[in-house]
């Protein structure tokens, strides 16, 4: 995997700016405000110092965007790895029913014999979460197992 160099700049009194220069030359990044709001920033094409867009996002919206960008890659990656094992599938399932509860409380493996191999939160993958991992709203669980097991798991995590 190619590493991207993210620059972290403190903005006194406001928050932090984290950004990186993409291959096309523009700067893309996020401003995290102290009060938890986010802003997506994209620099101008002709002046990399300034921004052509700064889009305010609520924490939920930022989470969703991060999921859209981050999760498919992770799933594709895992699918690649488990391809040669017949009958095993990887799927990403939204966790809506277990906010502020631990992974252990879902009892997913005993009930459906599937495994949560990672949790995607705000675009970051938390690999191999333990039983005491605490879910938050907007988490995506990356689950590996049989097709029937995954269907059952989806229902449990969704609050079935």
Partner 1 sequence: MIQLGAVFFGLGLLGRVARRAGISPIPLYLIGGLAFGEGGLVPLAGIEEFTHLASEIGVVLLLLLLGLEYSASELTTGLKKSWMAGVLDLVLNAAPGAIAAYLLGWGTVGALAMAGVTYISSSGIVAKVLGDLGRLGNRETPVVLSVLVFEDLAMAVYLPVLTAVLAGVSFVGGLTSVGISLLAITVVLVVALKYGRFISAIVDSPDHEVFLLKLLGSALLVAGIASQLQVSAAVGAFLLGIAISGSTAENATRLLEPLRDLFAAMFFVVFGLNTDPRSIPPVLAIAVALAVVTTATKVYTGWWAARRQGIGKMGRMRAGVALVARGEFSIVIAGLAVASGQVADELAALATAYVLLMAILGPIAAKYVEPIGEFFQRRRQTA
Segment contacting partner 1 by CB under 8 A, of 5-13, 99-107, 114-122, 127-135: 5-13
Please report whether residue 48 would count as binding partner 1 according to CB under 8 A: yes
Of 53, 6, 47, give the one whose Cα is nearest residue 25. 47
Please report whether residue 10 would count as binding partner 1 according to CB under 8 A: yes
Which helix (H) or strand (E) segment holds residue 119: the answer is: strand 115-121
Please report whether residue 108 would count as binding partner 1 according to CB under 8 A: no
Q: Where are the beta strands (DSSP E) in 60-104?
A: 89-94
Please report whether residue 50 would count as binding partner 1 according to CB under 8 A: yes
Question: Which one of 38, 43, 121, 154 is in contact with partner 1 (CB under 8 A)?
Answer: 43
Q: How far is CA 103 from CA 87, 97, 109, 117, 146, in A?
A: 25, 11, 10, 11, 19
Segment contacting partner 1 by CB under 8 A, of 28-36, 60-68, 76-84, 124-132: 28-36
Q: How many residues bind partner 1 (CB under 8 A)?
A: 23
């Amino acid at each position: 995997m190619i590493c991207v160099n993210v620059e972290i700049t403190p903005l006194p009194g406001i928050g932090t700016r984290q950004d990186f220069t993409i291959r096309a030359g523009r700067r893309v990044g996020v401003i995290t405000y102290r009060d938890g709001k986010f802003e997506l920033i994209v620099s101008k094409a002709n002046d990399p110092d300034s921004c052509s867009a700064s889009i305010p996002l609520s924490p939920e919206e930022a989470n969703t965007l991060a999921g859209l960008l981050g999760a498919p890659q992770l799933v594709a990656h895992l699918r690649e790895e488990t391809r040669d094992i017949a009958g095993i599938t990887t799927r990403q399932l939204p966790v809506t029913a277990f906010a502020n509860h631990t992974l252990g409380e879902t009892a997913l493996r005993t009930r459906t014999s599937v495994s949560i191999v990672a949790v995607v939160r705000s675009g970051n993958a938390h690999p191999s979460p333990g039983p005491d991992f605490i879910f938050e709203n907007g988490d995506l669980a990356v689950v590996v197992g049989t097709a029937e097991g995954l269907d059952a798991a989806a229902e449990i995590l969704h609050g079935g």
